[in-house]
Amino acid sequence: MHQGKTLNFHKLSTAIPSAALAATNERLKALRQLTSEGAKIGRDISRLAADLRKVAAPQQEPFIFTSDLETNERLLRSILRDCEDVIYRTLALKGGRALLVYVHGMTDEAGLAKFVIQPLLECSVTIPEPGADIESYIQQHIYAAGIQFIEQPSSIIGEMMGGRTLLLFDGHARVALIGTTQFAKRNVGDSKTEGVVRGPHEAFNETLIDNIALLRRRVRDPNLKIKILNVGDRSGTRAALAYVSNLVKPGLLEEVEKRIAAVSTDIVLTSFKIEELISKHPWSPFPQAEVAERPDTLLNALYGGRVGIMVDGTPLALVVPATFLSMMQATDDYTTQPLGGMLIRMIRYLSSFLAVYLPALYISVVSFHPGMLPTTLAISIAELRSRTPFPSILEAFGMIIILEIFQEAIIRLPQRMVTAASVVGGFVIGTTVVEAGLINPLLVVVVAMTAIASYTASFDFAVGFRVVRIFTLLAASVLGLYGTLLALLFTTVHLCALRSFGESVLGGLFDITLLEDWKDGIVRVPLKLNRTRPKVYGPQDRTRAGDDGG
């Protein structure tokens, strides 16, 4: 606008005081100082590095412990620089000094004081001379339960970071690791993902040791083996392989170990990462390892000859090989009467079928083959549909997307908001959208049915089902019932090709070499009649009763 010329222009600094020249200069100065400090730090670091380099160390180790306590402390401090939660406690003992190093918060400090510091301080025996046997001195004078001596400095530091305490003596290069671990953790609680009515309620928590204990507490079988591995180059997460040595299928354990060893990643925070990295078909929408959140589920699997993988930090153990049938089973099948259990299980299969194919069938029938409907039904559907403007395929996609948004929102929302969200959602979708004539009520029924049906299947499969549902719906929208069938065939072939540790994900479903497994497959016969383990997992001993303890 030309009138703008008459306006007064103000200096920028009056509008934004922080833009004033003086302030800018000040900040520039600060910046310079920072740069010079940075350079100083750089020099410090290189000096430190030079320090470290001076110490003779084998390859892949940062250093080795010397017999000089001062040096040792300096080395540790330089490695653990800026780790301010590491505590160094120097003890003045008879005949020299000792150093305790531990991580604050990971260590039971009261226990440390009582069982380590107190006996040492009260000890009247002199510390052995440099070169003499320090180990027996420690064994004699420390009350704490777990004491360990390790050679490699890197593992020593790793252990210390995991909650143990280092004990060093002046004049000795030998380092004692004292088991005083104690940290904040969740108690053993109810299962979050595998609900059960009549079975045990205990579920794993995030602590590997607790989880192993939960297993052990249920089975006093020395054949139940636990093998601990470290995965994750940086996190050094501990993973435990659990198996029953005289049942597990020959070769399976080695294969699992091999694949876990081949996992190359920096950190492992969830067990799913392991599952994904050891599975051979990463593009498949279906899970290739079963998830067990409860010790009884896991033990059941182990005593079927399978291998469990427990990862520290995740309350979900993995079970391989996994089959569709095993994932469709639930504890409740076995805690109700066989007939009832069978019914429940059949319903689960039926609903997983509906979850995948119902929308596609609806589309095929309504927009491709209405002749398959009886005329009266066809008329009433047509009258419902005649009020809605969209083609049914768009309607279906719309509804499915709304449904997915809902599910996602409800999972993410804080607990208090969920009710609000579901009221809004249920009301909006259930009534208003239908009443406004945007979506026909029948489709709402179909999609709701689909959603509910997919909740009954195991969660891992449910996610796969969603993918297949969309895929099938697309096929149905092109070729109707024929397209649905092609998609079904495609999925079938994919499922047959999908192998989880040698076993097809479909398991014993209609494989005549595995026909004997029918007793605990789609149906579930009373236990009296089913005394064998499923053949699919190739257990060494197939009879359930009368195991030779060997």
Partner 1 sequence: MVTMRYKGWHRRIVAAGLLLLFSLPVSGCWDRQELQDRAMLLAIAIDAADDKTAAEQSRTAVEKFPQPHGAKRYRVSNQVLKLGASEEEEESRTFVLSNTGQSILEMGRDVSGQISKVLWLEDLHVIIVSEEAVKIAGLQPIIDFFRRDQRIRWRSRLYITPGKARELLEFKPESGEPGGMFLEAISRNHPKNTHVIAARTDLGFIVQALDNEADVLVPRIEMQQKVVRVGGAAAFKRGKFAGYLDEYAVKGLKFIRATEKSAIIAVRCPLHPEGLLVFELFEHETRLRPIVKGEQVFFQLDINMTGNIGEISCSRHHCSLDPEYRRKAELLFAEEVRRNVLYAQEACQELGIDVLNFGFKLKAYQPKTWAKIKDRWDEIYPTVPMTVSVNVHIRNVGEHK
Partner 2 sequence: MGNLERKSKMSALQLAVVLVTTCVGGQIILAPNELIMAAGQGAWVSIILGGMLYYTVSLLCIKIGEYYPQESLVEFFPRIFGKGIGLALTGWLWVTYFILYAVILQGLSRVIGLFMFDRTPVEVIGAGMAAVTVYCALQDWGTILRVLQLLMFSSVPMLVGIWLLTFFNFLPENLLPLWPLDFKGVVKGIGISWGMFSGYEVILLLLPLVYRGKIAFAWAVGCAFGCMGFIFVLVVVVAVGVLTVKGAQNVPYPTLIVIRGVELPGTFIERLENYLLVAWIPIVFDTLAMMLYFVSETCRRWLKYEDHRPFVLLLAPAAFILNVVLDTAKLYEQAGKLTNTMGLVFSLFVIPLAYILARIKRRDARDG
Partner 3 sequence: MMDRLRKLLCAFLLLVFVLPLAGCWDRRELQERNLVLAIALDLADEGLKPGQSQETVKAETFVQPTGSKRYRLSLQILKYEAKGAGSKGGGGQGARKTFVLSNTGESLFEMVRDMLGQSSRALYFEHMQVVIISEAVLRQTNLAPILDFFFRDAEMRSRIRVYATPGQARPLLEFKPPTGEPGGIYLNNIARNHVKNAHIGTARTDLGHIIQALDNDADVIMPRIDIQDEVVKIRGLAVFRRDRFGGYLDEYAVQGIRFVRGTERGAIITAPCPVHPGEILALELVKHETKLTPHVAGDDIYFTLDINMTGNLSEVHGAQPNTYDYKNKDALEQAFAQEVLANVSYAVRQSQTVGCDTLYFGSKLKAHEPETWKRVKERWDEIYPAISLYTSVNVRIRNIGVHR
Residue 76 · residue 63 · CB < 8 Å: no
Q: From the list 164, 172, 238, 249, which residue makes contact with partner 2 (rule: CB under 8 A)?
A: 249
Rule CB under 8 A: say whether 502 interacts with partner 2: yes
Cβ-based nearer residue to partner 3, 280 or 387: 387
Closest CB to partner 3 among residues 387, 412: 387
Of the candidate spans 13-21, 72-80, 267-275, 502-510, the one that interacts with partner 3 by CB under 8 A turns out to be 13-21
- CA end-to-end distance (rounded Å), the chain: 96
The reply to whether 15 sits near partner 3 by the rule CB under 8 A is yes
- Helices 392-412, 338-367: crossing angle, 10 deg rounding: 140
- Phi/psi of residue 183, each to 5°? -145, 170
Does position 501 interact with partner 2 (CB under 8 A)? The reply is yes
Tokens of 81: 């620089």
Region binding partner 2 by CB under 8 A among candidate stretches 99-107, 427-435, 478-486, 521-529: 478-486
Strand ranges (DSSP E) for 158-297? Answer: 165-169, 176-179, 224-231, 237-244, 290-292
Residue 15 binding: pick among partner 1, partner 2, partner 3, none (C-beta 5-8 Å cut-off by kind): partner 3
DSSP track, 318-362: EEES--HHHHH--HHHHHS-HHHHHHHHHHHHHHHHHHHHHHHHH
CB of residue 365 vs partner 1: minimum separation in angstroms?
9
Is 371 a residue that touches partner 3 (CB under 8 A)?
no
DSSP string for 37-66 = HHHHHHHHHHHHHHHHHHS---TT-S----
Render 492-545 in DSSP notation, one character per residue. Answer: HHHHHH-EETTEETTTTTT-GGGGGGGGGTTS---GGG--B--STT--S--BSS
CA of residue 4 relative to chain centroid, distance: 64
Name the residue nearer to partner 1 (CB basis): 197 or 445: 445
Instruction: Among 7, 16, 22, 92, indicate the residue that binds partner 3 (CB under 8 A).
Output: 16
Smallest gap from Cβ 489 to partner 1, in A, equals 13
For residue 393, the partner it binds in partner 3, partner 1, partner 2, none, with Cβ less than 5 to 8 A by kind, is partner 1
Binding of partner 2 by 479 (CB under 8 A): yes
3-class DSSP assignment, residue 292: strand
Binding track, positions 352-381, relative to partner 2; x by CB under 8 A? ----------------xx-xxxx--x----
Using the minimum distance from each CB to partner 3, give the nearer residue, 426 or 437: 437
Contact call for residue 168 and partner 2 (CB under 8 A): no
Residues 272-311 that bind partner 2 (CB under 8 A): 280
Partner from partner 2, partner 1, partner 3, none binding residue 546, C-beta < 5-8 Å depending on class: none
Phi, psi for 227 (deg, rounded to 5): -115, 130
**Residue 332 within binding range of partner 2, rule CB under 8 A:** no
Angle at which helices 392-412 and 441-456 cross, to 10°: 40
Q: What is the DSSP string of 204-239?
A: --S-HHHHHHHHHHH---TTEEEEEEEE-TTT-EEE
Question: Could you tell which of partner 1, partner 2, partner 3, none binds residue 513, using a CB distance below 5 to 8 A set by kind?
Answer: partner 2
d(CA 460, CA 467) in angstroms, rounded, equals: 12
23-32 as b/e, with b when 16 or more CB fall inside 10 Å? eeeeeeeeee
- Which of partner 2, partner 1, partner 3, none does residue 510 bind to, with CB < 5 to 8 Å depending on kind? partner 2
For residues 297 and 308, the answer to whether their CB atoms sit within 8 Å is no
Of 464, 509, 520, 534, which one interacts with partner 2 (CB under 8 A)? 509
Measured from the Cβ of residue 146, the count of other Cβ atoms closer than 10 Å reads: 10
- Residue 52 in contact with residue 58, Cβ under 8 Å? no
Residues that bind partner 1 (CB under 8 A): 283, 366-368, 370-371, 375-376, 378-379, 381-383, 385-386, 391-393, 474-475, 477-480
16 binds, among partner 3, partner 1, partner 2, none (CB under 5 to 8 A by kind): partner 3
502 binds, among partner 3, partner 2, partner 1, none (CB under 5 to 8 A by kind): partner 2
Q: Could you tell me the two tokens for 247? A: 């049942």
Per rule CB under 8 A, is residue 445 in the interface with partner 2? no
Stretch that binds partner 2, among 59-67, 269-277, 287-295, 492-500 (CB under 8 A): 492-500
Tell me how far, at minimum, the Cβ of 374 lies from partner 2, in Å. 5
Residues 6+ apart with CB under 8 A from 150: 156, 159, 175, 177
Tokens (6 digits) for 162: 């995991």
**Out of 189, 437, 452, 543, which residue is the one contacting partner 3 (CB under 8 A)?**
437
For partner 2, give the closer residue by CB, 81 or 258. Answer: 258
The residue ranges that bind partner 2 (CB under 8 A) are 249, 251-252, 255, 259, 280, 368-369, 371-374, 377, 479-483, 485-486, 488-490, 492-493, 496-497, 499, 501-504, 506, 509-513, 538
